[in-house]
Structure 1
Amino acid sequence: MKRVIDKKVSKGRRRHSIMAFEMIRLNRAAAEPLHQQLYRQIRDELVSGSFTDNSSRLPSTRALAADLGISRLTVNIAFEKLHAEGYLRSKIGSGTFVVDSLPETFLSPRRPKTKPLIEHPPRLSDRVKNIPDKRAGKQFDFGIAGAPGVSFVPAVAALDEFPIAIWERLRAQVLAKKGAHLLQYASSRGDPDLRKALAAYLCDYRGARCHPDQIVITAGTQQAMMISATALVNRGEVAWIEDPGFYQARRAFGFAGATVVPRPVDREGIVIARPSKRASPKIIYVTPSHQFPLG
């Protein structure tokens, strides 16, 4: 009696271990041969499934042919192709099994294991944290002028009054004369012809005698102040600015590490007298032509 029960249990376990293909549907009217349909559907089933040693054994070719109502030769052709492509392996006396690693394992790029993202506050230097700028997010997309529209922010040009037609005509003339090489990287000091023109202008209209080599073209006032501060002032050394004066000057010199000392302004400009105990400035920022914000 015990021997009979063990045989029944063993037979039940074996039947449970055989992989079933209930989803296989063969179309005898299709142009695709039956063995190719069977091969393709078994392959897709193997790729999409998850198998273990206890559930990776395929039914015999005879049993599968009987279940699908096709010839055993058709099943043999499909199995042979799956064997050849590395999807199946055979064990003598045990049957046909799915291989441990399917071909897709080697043909597909490995996806890195995704770990939950942990948000950390950005690591910023004290220099950046001390910048007095309250803008955030998309506010940086518009610059200091803010969103398009009427703006009362100082130093913002009236772009609706810009002579675009004249600018385009002169730009076309310069490109035609000097060529497209003007669009490449130029000297870090700026275009030589532009520096010569500025030197002549400063001499004729401002009374400032300077050589073109003393002029550096920058992207704006703040970049010019940053270059000057980093080149001339060490951290902790004194920089004088006008009070009242251009508020961006305080920001630029402070960012460079200078000790900013505001100096009063009278009708002659910045007051340069200083107490004897105060440290001498290493740089003085003045706006003699158009004092900000007094005009």
Structure 2
Amino acid sequence: MLAFLIRRIAAGAVLVVVVATATFLMLGLTGTDVARNVLGETASRAAVAAKTRQLGLDQPLVERYGHWAGQALQGNLGDSWFTGDPVNQSLMDTLPVTLSIVFAGLLLAAVLSVALGTAAALRGGWVDRLVQFAAVLGTAVPSFLIALVLAVTLAVRLGWLPATGYVALNSSGIDWLRSIILPAVSLAVGATAATAMQVRGAMVDVLRADFVRTLRSRGLSTRSVILRHALRNAAPPALTVLALQFIGLIGGAVVVEKVFGLPGIGSLANSAATRGDAPVLLGTVVVTVVIVVAVNLLLDIAYGWLNPKVRIS
């Protein structure tokens, strides 16, 4: 198991380095006059040249990358070129917002997909057809459209939940939950649709297996067979899909945060990309990749626990 974890951690570290390097190089080759953008069109050439030297943009690209990477390894992601705020602090302010809606959406998708997929596999007939139709519909409808419908109906018209804004968990647990419900549901619909079909397919295969018939012949109840044996054997494929869905939820959070006016990391990255604020954009990319790697590592551990063959693959 230790060798399995070391391989996964090493692969994750390589991925972070590759993505960070590629992002830095692409940002450095855009040809944008960052100093002019920071100071404005009315700034003099002397002021722009001084700002260029201050930001270190007059140095070779490789040297700039070495300086940034050295700071990043020490946990310092630099300062914003436009506001001067530390990138670390900006990420600490915005990251909890995005993680709240993404993990809530992932948890909701996991619970609903297991329930719907298992029901479809067990019941068959019209239940199976209904779940399949709902899955196709949920996959086809984009998350931003779902977010708009939920915001207009449940928030604006009915007033059940807030339409915009975010309340920190340490301020009020109830208000925090109310502020993330609609964004989390918006993200969870597509993830639930994809994962539910995977659970259904895996459960159908498992329920046809010889060991399930043997367990039933020994007098075990259907509930015991499903909860203690069938779900565990059907879980690995579903975990793989959930790992992929998590990446999609991170991307979908950018649009959903805009709809609900949430100050999350998606909004921060979008603003940085629009202005050309490379340190902020690099910071959001690196932190996002680290989170994705960490979540996938946890899912790999769960996968390895459920299927020991994975540990030696």
TM-score band w.r.t. shorter chain? under 0.3
Larger radius of gyration between Structure 1 and Structure 2: 1
In the superposition, the TM-score normalised over structure 1's length comes to 0.19
* More RCO (CA 8 Å, sep 6+): 2
Identify the structure with the greater helix proportion: 2
Q: TM-score, normalised by structure 2?
A: 0.19
More strand by share: 1
